[in-house]
Amino acid sequence: MYYPEPIAKLIESFSKLPGIGQKTATRLAFHTIAMDDQDVNEFAKNLLSAKRDLRFCSICGNLTEKDPCEICTDNSRDKSMILVVEEPKDVLAMEKIREYRGLYHVLHGTISPMNGISPDEINIKSLIQRLSDTTVTEVIIATNATSDGEATAMYLARMIKPAGIKVTRLARGLAVGSDIEYADEITLSKAVENRLEL
């Protein structure tokens, strides 16, 4: 079935978003058309504002409206720790738990030889430059538990340890509320490895 050009283009635009297939893109396009004009205008304004008004912090690489970002300029943060994450959304996830009070560094991806992504193509050089500041005593690597995330963590550890800075990795293991019988072998192995004394 052929749609009129404006809706076909809208479907095509939605389908460019990650995780959005043709059916979902079509559903979103028709939902957008059904919205009242004020909501559509607000949606379009928010899209443009996010694209125009956000930038990456020149220190940590996180998304921000002003440079440097609020976290990097917050004097109450522990400047001796830097937690390294893959994407800006990971900073938000860590901030939600309100347990970590140090600084961040966003890589904007991972090293991925299979996809042709080398260390030079992600935000590693600025991390190494930040570590020349003698106040940093620990780097916590919080990349995802994927093969690319693990490869990136190992690469960073090899780069950082010679500087005498402690390098740690977030613990891995069973998720809260999960059943052992459904866990994969790697998760169970990490759960045993990272066990805690009671």
Residues 130-167 have pLDDT tens digits of 998 779 999 999 998 888 999 999 999 999 999 999 99
**Distance between CA 37 and CA 91 in Å, rounded?**
34
For the segment 71-105, what is each residue's pLDDT rounded down to a tens digit? Answer: 999 999 999 999 999 999 999 999 998 889 999 99
Q: What is the pTM (predicted TM-score) of this model?
A: 0.82
Q: What are the phi and psi torsion angles at 176 (to 5°)?
A: -60, 130
For the segment 20-58, what is each residue's pLDDT rounded down to a tens digit? Answer: 999 999 999 999 999 999 999 999 999 999 999 999 999
> What is the pLDDT, as a whole number, of residue 170?
85
- 155-172 as b/e: b if 16+ CB within 10 A: bbeebbeeeeeebebeee
For the segment 2-15, what is each residue's pLDDT rounded down to a tens digit? Answer: 899 999 999 999 99
What the chain holds in terms of domains, given with CATH numbers, is 5-53 (1.10.8.420), 76-169 (3.40.1360.10)
